[in-house]
């Protein structure tokens, strides 16, 4: 993993500044290449070939192509063998493999690479720049076209550092206040875009073109549940084996769930050394242990079972106060995910012993694990009922069983509407706090619709909603968090469940195999059945439990004074254009007195206030 930056002009001083800003992503080495047309910078985290031969920017043997690369290519050794008759390699890196593939095969050859990546290649003959991002969006890439030049980087703050007077994108901010993160190609800054997952951007003659890069992948045909159960272990083993490729030890972020425990089981089986595992524990009262720490209890038990070298990181209210501004800085954009601070501290501790960790992101999406997916299945079934039966049911069903929200969900008009009923902050106060001039509902809905609609291309409600989650919420919230919080400490985070082979096979599995209607508390049934022999009974026998943060409780305790200070209108006078602070304080007061739950709404305001203070005020 690394930090990359570039600009289509000769400007060493600007790129030096961008590399300075992103050097936490790669603390082992740094380099800059420049000529009259391009300047590219790189900060390196050494994973493959720790020698100086892996220095970047890397130049091709014919001197035509220059690359800056962020990521990991898991099949690079196999690809290298196909190139060795045409090239004499000077390093043992995956970077050089990409460079030689592009030199001989162009963009078409990039379809062969498997991994997590974002990179830039400059063609010094055609005066052409390409930016590439992996198909699942695991590694970020930002870009901006400004004054006839293209600027790009792994992190937004690097672009912000060299382009003065960027203005807040109010459409993106609307997205943040409703969903807790910013999705799609928009960013918090007007004019700065995210390169979408699986895309290749070409910049030549002052023009930008973007095309899709589809990874070449082929998995077996699945015609029965028995075939699925046989195929999943084979693919998952191969994926973990591929992702253990590294010249440094690979650790694991371990939870009490199925996904990370499966990874630990396979790492233990395939590897030859003791694995470092890491979990977070909340410091809460004994009466709250079951609610907030049941996950970490199972993780500790699993570590003992698999004989890993386990480290628990404790998180309390002081941890929040000490780290929240650092987290805001490293996330680049406003994001109110409660898991950010535990993940930041966990990565900080893990980086002391490991440069690489794996984690279980993506398992719930591709195999249908979240409890809400049971609702997706019910809604899909409901849509097939006769109209008269639906009307009769609505006439007799009491509100206690079917409230207004769930009635709307069953009779949704559009998939966008249904998706947002699950994805948006549903607290009553969530939009009341926003200033009316800033609160443009229609523009926001039009934008979200344009982001989501392309992913509603799967058969049925269940598959379409999960496909949308996989390509929006997972990418822009969870994977962005996984990247930014880990790379803040120069730690590479690999996500085996998002390998193209597993994603491909999951699309061939019936919804009823993933989440049977008869089992409300256990999704991922096909994964559990297929991999049962690899897990201890206390893991696969435990029902799915969502990760629960005590932030709401801490708001009424050790965080109360801090939050009260941050949500006052005089904390940052300029943000009055976005909020009605009288309403914000009323929501907080109601939450403190347990009259109405408003934790997410208040946390959104806190995160934005701190973001504004760090990036604009200071």
Residue by residue, DSSP assigns 413-478 as SSHHHHHHHHHS---TTTTTTB-TTT--HHHHHHHHHHHHGGG--SSHHHHHHHHHHHHTHIIIII
Q: In what order do the strands lie in the sheet with 250-253?
A: 309-315, 276-282, 250-253, 356-358, 492-494
For the chain, the distance separating the N- and C-terminal CA atoms, rounded to the nearest angstrom, is 29
Question: What is the β-pairing status of strands 65-73 and 115-123?
Answer: antiparallel
Question: What is the β-pairing status of strands 250-253 and 276-282?
Answer: parallel
| pLDDT tens for each residue of 94-122 | 999 999 999 999 999 999 999 999 999 99
Question: Do residues 137 and 191 share a domain?
Answer: yes
- Pick the closest to residue 93 from 118, 71, 110, 76 (CA basis): 76
Question: Do residues 158 and 65 share a domain?
Answer: yes
Question: Do residues 466 and 480 share a domain?
Answer: no
> Are the C-beta atoms of residues 299 and 565 closer than 8 Å to each other?
no
Q: Quick check: is 262 in a domain? A: yes
Q: Quick check: is 546 in a domain? A: no
pLDDT recorded at residue 406: 79
Token representation of residue 499: 């390998």
Count CA atoms within 13 Å of residue 602 on its CB side.
Answer: 28
Question: What is the β-pairing status of strands 492-494 and 65-73?
Answer: unpaired
| pLDDT tens for each residue of 518-554 | 887 788 999 999 999 999 999 987 777 777 899 999 9
Q: Quick check: is 218 in a domain? A: no
531 φ, ψ (degrees, to nearest 5) = -115, 15
> Are the C-beta atoms of residues 328 and 614 closer than 8 Å to each other?
yes
> Are the C-beta atoms of residues 134 and 116 closer than 8 Å to each other?
yes
Question: Do residues 326 and 413 share a domain?
Answer: no
> Are the C-beta atoms of residues 566 and 527 closer than 8 Å to each other?
no
Question: Do residues 452 and 508 share a domain?
Answer: no
Mean pLDDT by 10 residues, the chain (618 residues): 94 97 96 97 93 95 96 95 91 95 95 96 98 97 95 97 93 95 98 98 97 87 95 97 94 96 97 94 93 93 97 97 98 96 97 97 95 92 83 70 77 92 88 83 94 91 96 97 98 97 95 90 91 93 79 95 97 93 95 93 97 93
Question: Do residues 266 and 178 share a domain?
Answer: no
Q: Which residues pair with 208 in a beta bridge?
A: 203
332 φ, ψ (degrees, to nearest 5) = 75, -50
| Domain boundary, last residue among 212, 237, 272 | 212
Distance CA 495, CA 262 (A): 12
Q: Quick check: is 220 in a domain? A: no
Question: Do residues 93 and 229 share a domain?
Answer: no
pLDDT recorded at residue 604: 96
> Are the C-beta atoms of residues 333 and 485 closer than 8 Å to each other?
no
Q: Quick check: is 107 in a domain? A: yes
Q: Quick check: is 51 in a domain? A: yes
Question: Do residues 13 and 138 share a domain?
Answer: yes
Host domain of residue 293 = 225-367+472-540
Token representation of residue 199: 């895309």
Backbone dihedral region for residue 543 (phi beyond 0: left; psi -120 to 50: alpha; all else: beta) = beta
| pLDDT tens for each residue of 581-618 | 999 999 999 999 999 999 999 999 999 999 999 999 87
Question: Do residues 128 and 16 share a domain?
Answer: yes
| Domain boundary, last residue among 540, 566, 599 | 540
- Pick the closest to residue 82 from 101, 102, 108, 66 (CA basis): 101
Question: Do residues 155 and 191 share a domain?
Answer: yes
pLDDT recorded at residue 402: 66
Distance CA 45, CA 484 (A): 14
Question: Do residues 208 and 326 share a domain?
Answer: no
Number of folded domains in the chain? 4
Question: Do residues 48 and 154 share a domain?
Answer: yes
User: For the stretch 17-41, what's the b/e string if a residue is b when 16 or more beta carbons lie within 10 angstroms of its beta carbon?
Assistant: ebbebbbbbbbebbbbbbeeebbbb
Say which DSSP state 86 is in.
T
| Domain boundary, last residue among 158, 181, 212 | 212
Q: Quick check: is 431 in a domain? A: no
Distance CA 422, CA 415 (A): 11
Q: Quick check: is 75 in a domain? A: yes
Q: Is the preceding omega at residue 355 within 30 degrees of 0, hence cis?
A: no
This prediction's pTM: 0.95
CATH number for 298: 3.40.50.620
């Amino acid at each position: 993993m690394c930090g990359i930056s570039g600009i289509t002009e000769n400007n060493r001083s600007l790129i030096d500044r961008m590399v300075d800003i992103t050097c936490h992503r790669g603390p082992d080495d740094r380099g800059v290449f420049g000529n009259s047309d391009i300047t590219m910078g790189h900060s390196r985290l050494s994973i493959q070939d720790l020698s100086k031969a892996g220095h970047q920017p890397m130049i091709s043997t014919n001197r035509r192509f220059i690359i800056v690369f962020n990521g990991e290519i898991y099949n690079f050794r196999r690809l290298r063998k196909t190139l060795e008759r045409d090239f004499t390699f000077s390093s043992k890196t995956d970077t050089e493999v990409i460079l030689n593939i592009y030199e001989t095969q162009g963009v078409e050859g990039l379809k062969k690479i498997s991994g997590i990546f974002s990179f830039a290649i400059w063609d010094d003959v055609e005066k052409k720049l390409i930016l590439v991002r992996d198909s699942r969006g695991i590694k970020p890439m930002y870009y901006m076209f400004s004054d006839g030049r293209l600027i790009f980087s792994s992190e937004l703050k690097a672009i912000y550092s060299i382009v003065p007077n960027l203005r807040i994108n109010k459409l993106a901010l609307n997205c943040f206040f409703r969903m807790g993160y910013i999705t799609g190609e928009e960013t918090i800054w007007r004019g700065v875009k995210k390169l979408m997952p699986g895309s290749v951007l070409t910049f030549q003659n002052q023009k930008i073109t973007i095309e899709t890069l589809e990874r070449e992948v082929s998995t077996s045909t699945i015609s029965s549940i028995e075939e699925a159960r046989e195929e999943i272990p084979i693919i998952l083993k191969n994926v973990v084996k591929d992702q253990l490729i590294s010249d440094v030890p690979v650790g694991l972020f371990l939870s009490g769930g199925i996904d990370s425990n499966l990874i630990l089981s396979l790492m233990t089986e395939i590897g030859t050394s003791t694995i470092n595992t890491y979990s977070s524990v909340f410091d809460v009262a004994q009466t709250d242990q079951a609610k907030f720490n049941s996950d970490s209890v199972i993780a500790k038990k699993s570590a003992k079972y698999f004989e890993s070298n386990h480290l628990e990181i404790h998180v309390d209210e002081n941890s929040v106060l000490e780290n929240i501004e650092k987290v805001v800085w490293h996330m680049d954009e406003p994001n109110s995910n409660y898991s950010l601070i535990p993940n930041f501290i966990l990565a900080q501790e893990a980086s002391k012993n490991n440069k690489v960790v794996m984690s279980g992101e993506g398992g719930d999406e591709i195999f249908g694990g979240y409890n809400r997916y049971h609702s997706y299945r019910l809604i899909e079934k409901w849509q097939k009922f006769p109209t008269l039966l639906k009307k009769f049911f609505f006439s007799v069903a009491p509100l206690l069983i079917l409230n207004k929200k769930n009635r709307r969900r069953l009779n949704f008009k559009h998939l966008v509407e249904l998706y947002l009923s699950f994805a948006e902050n549903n607290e009553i106060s969530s939009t009341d706090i926003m200033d009316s001039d800033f609160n443009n509902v229609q523009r926001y809905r039009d934008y979200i619709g344009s982001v989501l609609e392309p992913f509603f291309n799967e058969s049925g409600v269940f598959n379409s909603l999960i496909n949308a989650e996989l390509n929006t919420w997972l990418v822009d919230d969870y994977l962005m968090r996984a990247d930014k919080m880990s790379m803040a400490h120069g730690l590479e985070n690999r996500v085996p469940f998002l390998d193209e082979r597993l994603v491909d096979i999951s699309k061939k599995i019936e919804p009823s195999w993933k989440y049977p209607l008869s089992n409300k508390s256990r999704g991922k049934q096909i994964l559990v059945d297929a991999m049962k022999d690899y897990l201890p009974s206390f893991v696969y026998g435990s029902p799915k439990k969502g990760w629960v943060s005590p932030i709401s409780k801490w708001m009424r305790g050790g965080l109360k004074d801090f939050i009260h200070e941050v949500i006052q209108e005089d904390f940052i006078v300029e943000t009055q254009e976005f909020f009605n602070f009288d309403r914000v304080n009323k929501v907080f007061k109601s939450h403190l007195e347990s009259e109405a739950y408003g934790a997410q709404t208040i946390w959104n305001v806190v995160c934005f206030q701190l973001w504004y203070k760090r990036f604009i005020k200071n």
